[in-house]
Every structure is written in structure tokens, then in C-alpha cells.
Structure 1
Amino acid sequence: MILTGYIFRQSIKNVIVSTLVLISVIWLSQSFKSIKLIINNGANLSDFFLLSMYSFPSWLLIALPFGTFAGCMISYLKLQNDKEIIVMKSSGLDYIQISKPAIFVSLISAFILFIVSHIILPQSYKNFKILQNEIRNSSSDLILKDNTFIELNKNQTIFVGSSSNNNLSQIFIQDKTDPLNINEYYAKDGFLTMNETPILILINGTKIVTNKQGRSTILKFDKYNIEIESNNSKKTTNRVVEYNEYNFFQLLEFAKQNNDKKGKLLAEANYRNTVTLSPIVFILLLMITILKDSFSRKNNIYKTIMSISLILIIQTLLIVIKNAVHDNVTFLPLMYLFPLSLIIISIILLQKNKKISDIFLKHKTVI
């Protein structure tokens, strides 16, 4: 019992670290899109962290099964290298007893995945898409970039040499709001006041008024206020609701109502259940690979490569089956039968004291 608790604690620590590393990798790969969205739409840094927080449950669904596998593999390979597994076998512990800590860890991971996929993910992903859409549609009309011409709306264009907060310098504005004249403003300095209607206050500048005949009038000013029109040409895009925003029962209900997307809806709904089986499958196969062969340093490298290869193959097959359900719902039972059959076979193999090579080799006949 003490030994089981020790292995369990070590495995939990390694699983947490491995999962966090995987989530960090996913976060780094996905954050570029969020950063681009934030910069292009003038949103706050807090919005970036909110987007990341809302994305966390969907990242966890990907990272936790592999993090569970990696963490337990690190723990048990260390035990193997220290020859502690040999001691446990010599003391009379069978493979199931040695595997118990890892199996407990996989059950905890499965429970977390169930809660995340059925309860947390739909709401968090919905919040993510709502915030993402709000950032795209409610960005400020005055997103100014240095040394760049910006169309504020269909009538006003601005160029700013440099800007710091709301203080501007080297300003040029072309204003076509007046149907009879084109007004152009040049100013050395200026600043913005953001009230209900943004107002640009120009300091020490020149106004050039050009009529339809091409005649220009030049006026100098010490201070001049320009009201910035709202961007009426800007359309609010309708948000497409994605499958991740629906819970299990909503997906099943929509599948009944929509025959064209029935396969995709059923596949997504049942994936919420089958994803919880992944860490259990991964751990049982890992235990077979590690415990069923004799110990050697060279053999441990083989075990690591074989374990990772098995997991990647199984994950690929799970994805293939899910995609097959998109086109043909008759494959739906395979989403459950495949992982459950792997679990049953793995438990049977662990209960039998056979080497992993015995799975593939028949009894030899002596000639």
C-alpha cells in the first residue's frame, strides 16, 4: 500500500508537469492568432489572457491523455531503471498490482476529461467565440499606426508620423464629408479626445480647401477640432456557432433535426464520451509494454519507442473512426467498441504472465 501510494504520487506529479508542458506548446502555437487579432483590432492585453483562459478546456482535452501517458511512462521507466519493478515482481506482486497506481491516475484523468468535455467546454468555448467576435466587431474606429494611411471611414483618411497614447505628431487628414469641397489638414501636433464621438484636436497646422473646380484656399490655424465620423460602412459579422459550443444532449437533438449534418453531430456528441477512454487505453498499453519484457537499458529505449508508436497509431485510428462517422453513422459503435476492446484485451494480457512477444508468436514446434 505504501509503495502504491509512492508510485501514485510520483506519477501524478509527472502527469501534471507533462500536461502543462503540452498545454504550453499548444498555447504558444495558438497565441499568434490571438495576438494578431488583438493588435489588428486595438483590443486590450486582458482580452488576450481571457481568450487564452477560455481556450484552456479545449487544449486540456488534447493535452491530458498524452500528458497522462507521458507522466506515467516517465515514472515507470525510472522504476525500471532503478530495478524497483524487478523487486516488486520478486516480492510476489503481479502485473495488475504493479499497474494500479498508473490505472488510478488514468481514471482520474478520465473523470477530469468527462467533466471538461460535458460541462466546462461548451460554456468556455462559447465565451471564447463571443469575445473573439466582439473584438472583431467592436474595435475602435481609431486604430492608428505610425507612418501608415488609415481609412477612418468612407470620407476620412488619416496619416500619423508618430503616436504615443492619444498624443500625435506629423498629422495629415483628408476629409470628404463636405460634398462641395475636399478639406485637407496638415498639423505638427495634435491629440485625441475619446468621448461619445472621437474628436481630433490639431495644433499649429494648415487647412487646404479644394472645390470642385480645383481651386484651393489655404488657411493657417493655431488650433482646430475635427469630429471623427463613426464607421458606418463597418458591418457586424454574424457569428457561426460551432459544435464545441453545444453540450452532449443539444448535439443529439440537432442530429435528429438535421439529416445532412447528422454524422458530424453524432460523431462530435459521442466524442465527448470516448475521449474519456483515451488515458485508460494509453496507460494499459503502456503497462503491457513496460512490464511484459525483461529489463535492460537497451530494451528500455525499445519500450519507449514502441509505447509512443502504439499510442500514435491508436490515436490516429480513433480520429479515422470519428471521421468515418461523419460520412456513415453505421460506424458509430466503433467509436466505443475500439477503445473498450483495447481496454479488455489489455487487462486480460496483464493478468496473464506472458511476455509481449507471446501475443504475436504461436507455440513453437520442435522438429
Structure 2
Amino acid sequence: MGSIDSYIFRTTLTSFAVILASLTGVIWITQALRGIDLMTSQGQTILTFLGLTGMAVPVLVLVIAPVALMIAVAHTLNRLANDSEIIVMNAAGLSPLRLVRPFMFASVVVAILVGFISAYVAPEGLRRINRWDSEITADILANILQPGRFSQLETNLTIRVRERQPGGVLVGVFIDDRRDPNERVSIIADHGTVLKNEDGSFLVLEDGTLQRFETGKQDPALVAFGRYAFDMSKFSRARDVTYGIRERYLWELLWPEPGDALYARLPNQFRAEMHDRLLAPIYPFVFAALTFAFLGLPRTTRQSRNFSMAGAIAAVFAVRLAGFACSIVTSSTPAVAAAQYLLLGATLAVSLWVIARNIVIEPPARLMELINALTASLARLRLRPMPS
């Protein structure tokens, strides 16, 4: 790799890293705010909240990375054009097809990153979210004992906690247990904590009273206690974790197990997800070539780059939107998967053909005249003095 290639390669990857981190951070924050209820209403720690939402970041990167590369390529080309470096390189004999090479090198790095995330990292993150969610769902303190609410665990069992204090201390605990048809037990405790050990989960109550109303007796039995353990093991069992299609590794999609019940029920969805994973590393090459076809060719200062930038954005958006549409249709019609490969292959081939033929993509002359006339009219209206 020559000095020019190294310069463009470093500039593109540096811009890509900054843009990827920025876009991922913004989108992650917006998505994480939707799950803020996990920390506030369910009493989870900030580390649990960040851990759960952070596991979904690789899934965001899969979609954002090709777009971030497109923006990085556009930024690098604009920088080279503003410094007249593209014109100098072209005058020195460096053809556009040769100039696109370092951008393809950068696309290789992004494609490897996307392919690795698609094959392993993203499914692993979703699997951990699934397992973590199962543990949180089984957490009595987080999901059953909600402050200020009467939680009906069973038809004849109700628990209420007035408030939760730091350290997992539950204040103002009330339990109404009518599961035994021969007696009714009401427990009021000043405070309590949840204890988990190998024997199960228990609500350990302190400084309270227990009232037992037995059938056939008029007066209840009242007992004051300093410490009482209420068994809640039945309500803290983690649910069985089953992995969905998006949580399968790439090799599990390519070669599903013969006895896989999910594959037997949804074979088309399996194939659609497999094609999405295989196509993910191709998008960086397509977006880079498409952006270069609009912005990478040398042009004079009179040739506006604004239209080229808008065209590159519109073309990338159209290709990605078409890819999403084909992916959705593939779930019901597997033959449409071929259209995704044809779409990306044709877009890449046409882009490289435009680059090799030195075709500068410009708007029609009449369109530019109309835009210029409209701009001039607006400028005259803005400069016209207001009537007194």
C-alpha cells in the first residue's frame, strides 16, 4: 500500500470510527431511555441497566456501520476535493478506478467487523439479554414486591410493601395468605429482606405480628415475632431460556440441527435471517463504491457537489430500503432472496462501471436552471424592502 493509499485509508477509517461511535451512542441512548423502567420501577442497579441495554449495541452496529462508512467516504472525498487533491492526483495519472482502491481496503476492514458481529457477537449479545431477562424476571425483589402495590401472587395470596430502602430493605410489609382453606394468615412486619440460598427464596420479616384465623374458631391467634421467614421459592423460579432465530449463530442458521423444533416450524424465517447475515458484509463495499461514484470523480469548481452528495445519500437510502423490503418478503417467499444478491451485485457493478468510465453524475441542465432561478427569486424577495 503506497503513501497515498495509506493516507486515504487512515483518514477514512478514522472518520468511520468517530462517526460509528457517535451514531451508535446517540441511537443507543434513545433506545436505552425506553427501558429506563427496568431501573426505576423494578429496582435494578445502573450496572444492570447499562449491561442489558449495552448488549443490544452490536445489533445497532450491524445497521449503522455501512452507513457510517458511507459518511466517512463522503467526508474524505469532500476533504480531498476542497484541497484540490483529487484534481492533482488525476493530473498525475491516478485514475478514479485506482483512487477507489484505498476506499475498498477500508471497506474490507468494515466488512470483517460487520461479518464477525453478524456471525457471533450480535447473537451472543441477544442470548445474554435473554438469559439476563430470565434472571430478572425470577427476581422477587425486582418484579413481585413493588412498593405501594398490592401484588396478588396467587388467587389467595396478596403481598404489599410500603417502600424499598437502600440495601434491599423492605419497609411496611403486609401479607394476606388464604391458600389453606382451613385458616387465614395475616402478617404485618416493620421491615424485611429477601434471602436466597440453596434451600430457596425467603422473605425474612422482622419485628411484626402474625394473625391466624382458624375455621370454627371465633377469636384469632395473635403472635408477635422478632424474625419470621416466609417461603417464596415457588415464585422465584427462572423461566426456561429458549433462543429465537435472531439469537442463533451464523453456523446454526447455515446448518440447523435436524431436531430443531423452531427450524421445523419456521424454515423460511431461518433462511431469511441466514441471507441477511451473509449479505451484511457486502453492504460496506456497495455503499463505498456508490458514494465514490457520485463524489470521487474530479470536477471543476463550477460543477456543484451538493447534488452529488444528495444523490449519494438518496441512492444509499434506496438500496438499504430495498434490502429491508426484500428481507421481509423473503420470510414468506424464499425465492426473493436472490433479488437481494442481484440488487447488491448490480449496484456494485454499475458503480464500478461509472468510476471506470469517468462518468460525472450531474443533474440535468434544465433542473439546475430551475433551481438557480428559484434561488434568485427567493434572494430578491428577501432583499426587497418592507412597506412602511
Contact 1:37-1:136 within 8 A present in 2 as well: no
Q: Which residue of 1 aligns with 2:385?
A: none
Displacement of 1:309 in angstroms is 0.9
Tell me the TM-score normalised to structure 1 length. 0.82
Q: Secondary structure at the match of 1:63?
A: helix
- Is 1:300 the equivalent of 2:305? yes
Q: Which runs of 5+ in 2 are unaligned?
A: 366-388
- Is 1:275 the equivalent of 2:280? yes
Sequence identity percentage: 20
Q: Secondary structure at the match of 2:331?
A: helix
Displacement of 1:266 in angstroms is 2.0
CA distance in 1, matches of 2:266, 2:187: 56
Question: Residue by residue, what CA displacement relative to the aligned partner does 1:97-155 show, whole Å, maximum 9, x if unpaired?
Answer: 33233222112111222222224334343333233233323554885333222345555
Moved more, 88-97 or 131-140: 131-140
Moved more, 317-326 or 291-300: 291-300
Q: Which residue of 1 aligns with 2:28?
A: 27
Pick one of 184, 192, 205 that aligns with 1:201. 205
Question: Residue by residue, what CA displacement relative to the aligned partner does 1:220-260 show, whole Å, maximum 9, x if unpaired?
Answer: 74x44332222536775454422223334432444999676
Question: Residue by residue, what CA displacement relative to the aligned partner does 1:56-92 show, whole Å, maximum 9, x if unpaired?
Answer: 3322211111111112212222222333323333333
Question: Residue by residue, what CA displacement relative to the aligned partner does 1:281-327 show, whole Å, maximum 9, x if unpaired?
Answer: 11111111113473559923322222111111000111222223223
CA distance in 2, matches of 1:255, 1:330: 23
CA distance in 1, matches of 2:37, 2:67: 29
Contact 2:173-2:192 within 8 A present in 1 as well: no
Displacement of 1:10 in angstroms is 1.7
Q: Secondary structure at the match of 1:174?
A: strand
Q: Secondary structure at the match of 2:305?
A: helix
Q: Secondary structure at the match of 1:146?
A: coil
Q: Secondary structure at the match of 1:246?
A: coil
Pick one of 228, 243, 246 that aligns with 2:245. 243
Task: Classify 1:326/1:167 alpha carbon distance in 2 versus 1 (closer, same or farther; 3 Å).
Answer: closer
CA distance in 1, matches of 2:108, 2:150: 58
Contact 1:69-1:283 within 8 A present in 2 as well: yes
- Is 1:320 the equivalent of 2:325? yes
Q: Which residue of 2 aligns with 1:181?
A: 183
CA distance in 2, matches of 1:307, 1:58: 25
Moved more, 72-81 or 258-267: 258-267
Task: Classify 1:239/1:198 alpha carbon distance in 2 versus 1 (closer, same or farther; 3 Å).
Answer: closer
Task: Classify 1:56/1:304 alpha carbon distance in 2 versus 1 (closer, same or farther; 3 Å).
Answer: same
- Is 1:121 the equivalent of 2:125? no
Letter in 1 for 2:72: G
Contact 2:206-2:226 within 8 A present in 1 as well: yes
Q: Which residue of 1 aligns with 2:380?
A: none
Pick one of 294, 298, 305 that aligns with 1:289. 294
Letter in 1 for 2:113: I
Q: Secondary structure at the match of 1:226?
A: strand
Task: Classify 1:65/1:232 alpha carbon distance in 2 versus 1 (closer, same or farther; 3 Å).
Answer: same
Q: Secondary structure at the match of 1:243?
A: coil
CA distance in 2, matches of 1:259, 1:198: 41
Task: Classify 1:30/1:139 alpha carbon distance in 2 versus 1 (closer, same or farther; 3 Å).
Answer: farther
Q: Which runs of 5+ in 1 are unaligned?
A: 361-367
Contact 2:115-2:277 within 8 A present in 1 as well: yes
Moved more, 209-218 or 18-27: 209-218
Q: Secondary structure at the match of 2:246?
A: helix
Task: Classify 1:20/1:174 alpha carbon distance in 2 versus 1 (closer, same or farther; 3 Å).
Answer: same
Q: Secondary structure at the match of 2:231?
A: coil
Letter in 2 for 1:18: I
Contact 2:149-2:160 within 8 A present in 1 as well: yes
CA distance in 2, matches of 1:358, 1:35: 47
Contact 1:141-1:231 within 8 A present in 2 as well: no
CA distance in 1, matches of 2:143, 2:66: 45
Contact 2:16-2:72 within 8 A present in 1 as well: yes
Q: Secondary structure at the match of 1:123?
A: helix
- Is 1:341 the equivalent of 2:346? yes
Contact 1:263-1:326 within 8 A present in 2 as well: yes
Task: Classify 1:96/1:168 alpha carbon distance in 2 versus 1 (closer, same or farther; 3 Å).
Answer: same
Tell me the TM-score normalised to structure 2 length. 0.78
CA distance in 1, matches of 2:25, 2:344: 28
Moved more, 58-67 or 288-297: 288-297
Q: Which residue of 2 aligns with 1:227?
A: 229
